[in-house]
């Protein structure tokens, strides 16, 4: 399943793409073609992928339904689909995008 959204942040358009393989449950998120997240294993079932665009807090939310999945993009707590405030458990951002350039945030703890 592929889902796309286009949002305007800081007077610039950003295309957010989610690729969700429902058979292997792998997930990828790209912003303007730059991959910012790829699920670490095929068993990854995370439902919230957080990131920042030009200082704005964003999240892709994947909800497991009885007969499939639903997808939403949240920008500063507002659903792109419903335009209503959404409460969700924010996680550590996986990437930050500044001036159109994405930088992944290392999720591994150094020993």
Percent of the chain with pLDDT strictly greater than 70: 88
Residue 37 has pLDDT above 60, yes or no: yes
Residue 85 has pLDDT above 50, yes or no: yes
What is the separation, in whole angstroms, between the first and last Cα of the chain? 37
pLDDT for res 111: 33
Distance, in Å, from the CA atom of 28 to the CA atom of 79, rounded to the nearest integer, reads 20
For the chain, domains (ranges, CATH) are 2-102 (2.40.128.180)
Residue 98 has pLDDT above 90, yes or no: no
Residue 24 has pLDDT above 80, yes or no: no
Distance, in Å, from the CA atom of 88 to the CA atom of 40, rounded to the nearest integer, reads 22
Count of other CB atoms within 10 angstroms of residue 58: 25
Question: How large is the average pLDDT for residues 35-43?
Answer: 76
- The residue with greater pLDDT, 82 or 40, is 82
Let me know how long the chain is: 111
């Amino acid at each position: 399943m592929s889902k796309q959204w286009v949002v305007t942040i800081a007077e610039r358009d950003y295309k957010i793409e989610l690729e969700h393989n429902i058979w292997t449950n792998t997930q990828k998120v790209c912003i303007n073609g730059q991959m910012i997240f790829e699920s670490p294993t095929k068993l990854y079932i995370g439902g919230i992928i957080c990131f920042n665009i030009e200082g704005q807090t964003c999240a892709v939310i994947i909800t497991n339904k009885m007969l499939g999945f639903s997808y939403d993009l949240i920008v500063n707590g507002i659903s792109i689909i419903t335009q209503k405030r959404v409460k969700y458990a924010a996680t550590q951002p996986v990437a930050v995008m500044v001036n159109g350039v994405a930088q992944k945030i290392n999720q591994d703890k150094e020993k």
